[in-house]
Amino acid sequence: MYLSSVLATSLLVALAHGYGAPGACSGACNIHDPSLIQRESDGTYFRFSTGNRISYATASSIEGPWTPVGSILPDGSSINLPGNDDLWPRELTVNFEPQAPDAQIVSGVYHVYYTVSTFGTQNSAIGLATSDTMNEGTWTDHGSTGIRSDSSKPYNAIDANLFNDNGNYLMSFGSFWQNIFQAPMNSAATSVASASYNIAFDPAGTHAVEGPYLYRYGDYYYLFYSVGICCGYDGSMPAPGEEYKIKVCRSSSATGDFVDANGVACTNGGGTVVLESHDNVYGPGGQGVFTDPDLGPVLYYHYVDTNVGYADGQKLFGWNVIDFSSGWPVV
C-alpha cells in the first residue's frame, strides 16, 4: 500500500512537470554517482562511478554501449583514513560513505577527485588521481588535496566538484551538516589554496543537501545539487517527496550569492527543482552536467527504474538534454 502511494505521487509530479524520459543507455548501465568526460585525443567517452575502488567504463557516445574498463585505484587510496582500501562497495551499506568521483581535465591532464570516508561521519578527505590518457593502469594516486573534515568542522569533505573559472580553480563539496562549501585551489588544481566558505545550506530538517556540481551557461553560474534520501530504498522507502531529487540555484558569480528562481538565497533553503521522481524514474540524483558535442548541455545522474528494482546495485545511468532558454535548466 505504501509503495503504491509513493508511485502514485511520482506519477502526479510527472504529469505536473512533464519531465522527459531518460536518454537511451546500452551496455554497462548499472551505476551510482556517475561522472562523465571525453578524451580529447579521440573523443571517447569515459564514465566514472562509485564502487570497485572507482570503477570506470568507455563508450563511443553517451548512449553507449558502455564497456567496463576496471578501477582507477585498484590498490585503494594512500589517504590514511578508514575506507581508503574500499572507496565504497558496489552494494552501498552503512559501512562506507556512498559518494562520487569527479572527472575533469586540467592543463591536458585528466583529474579524478575522489572521497575517502565512512558512512555518517565527518572523518573524510578528498583525494586526487591523475592520468595522461585515462587508460587502465595509468592512474597515479596523489592522496589528499588538503580538503579534510572531522567533527570540529561545519562540513563533511565529500562529493568534490572542480570548476575552472577563467583559470581560477574552485572546489565545491559537502554533504549534510552545513551542506555545501567551496574552496579555492592552487593553479595546478592539486591542493587547496585557502579557507572554504559556505555556498548552500538548508536550515530545515536533516540538512539533506549534497553532491554539488557547478556549471556555467551564458551569463550565469548554475549550482546543481542533490536533496533528500539517496539510498537503501529496498530496505526502507522514504516518505513521498523525501527521496533524492536534483535542485539548482544560480549566480552571476562562481563563488557565491546563488539564488533560486524565486530569488530565495541558496544559503537559506533556496533551490529550484530540476528533476524529481516521475513515471518509472524514482530518486534521481548524484548528478553532473556535461557539454556533449552533438547534444549540448546534458544533465546526467543515477536513478531507480521502478519496473526493475529499488536496490542500490540496480540503479541506472540516466541523462537528459538541458533546455536553458528560460534562463533556468529544464529537462
Q: 45 with 298: CB under 8 angstroms?
A: no
- Listing DSSP states for 86-112 in one string gives TSS-SS--TTS-----EEEEETTEEEE
Query: Residue 321: what pLDDT?
Result: 98
Give the pLDDT of residue 80.
Answer: 80
Q: pTM (2 decimals)?
A: 0.92
Among the listed residues 277, 321, 323, 274, the one whose alpha carbon sits nearest the alpha carbon of residue 299:
321
210 is catalytic: yes
Predicted confidence at residue 11, as pLDDT, reads 36
Q: What is the pLDDT of residue 263?
A: 98
Scanning the structure block, which residue is given the C-alpha cell 566538484? 161
Which pLDDT value is given to residue 42?
Answer: 97
Task: For 32-321, give the CATH class.
Answer: mainly beta
pLDDT tens-digit profile, the chain (331 residues): 333 333 333 333 333 468 999 999 999 999 999 999 999 999 999 999 998 889 999 999 999 999 999 999 998 888 987 666 655 433 333 333 335 699 999 999 999 999 998 777 898 999 999 999 999 999 999 999 999 999 999 999 999 999 999 999 999 999 999 999 999 999 999 999 999 999 999 999 899 999 999 999 999 999 999 999 999 999 999 999 999 999 999 999 999 999 999 999 999 999 999 999 999 999 999 999 999 999 999 999 999 999 999 999 999 999 999 999 999 999 9
pLDDT score recorded for residue 18: 87
Nine-digit cell string for 160: 568534490
Q: Give the pLDDT score at 261.
A: 98
- C-alpha cell read off for 59: 563508450
Catalytic residue of the set 159, 202, 210, 243: 210
Q: Which residue type sits at 210?
A: E
Is residue 213 within 8 Å of 224, Cβ to Cβ? yes
Residues pairing with 148 in the sheet:
125
Cell numbers for 57: 567504463
For residue 16, the model assigns a pLDDT of 47
In whole angstroms, give the CA distance from residue 106 to residue 123.
Answer: 28
